Amino acid sequence: MRALVQRADSASVTVDGQVVGAFEGPGLVVLVGVTHTDSEESAARLARKVYQLRIFDAGRFQHCGLPSGSREVSAADLGLPVLVVSQFTLYASTAKGRRPTWEAAAGGDVAEPLVALFAATLRSLGATVPEGRFGADMRVSLTNDGPVTVLVEV
Question: Is 89 in the active site?
Answer: yes
Question: Is 18 in the active site?
Answer: no
Query: What does the DSSP assignment read for the chain?
Result: -EEEEEEEEEEEEEETTEEEEEEEEEEEEEEEE-BTT--HHHHHHHHHHHHT-EEEEGGGGGGG-PPTT--EEEHHHHT--EEEEE-GGGG-B-SSSSS-B-TTBPPHHHHHHHHHHHHHHHHHTT----B--TTS-EEEEEEEEEEEEEEEE-
Query: Active site residue: 14, 23, 35, 88, which one?
Result: 88
Query: Active site residue: 89, 101, 128, 143, which one?
Result: 89
Query: Active site residue: 6, 14, 87, 121, which one?
Result: 87
> What's the rounded Cα separation, in Å, for the pair 83 and 123?
11
Residues labelled catalytic: 87-89
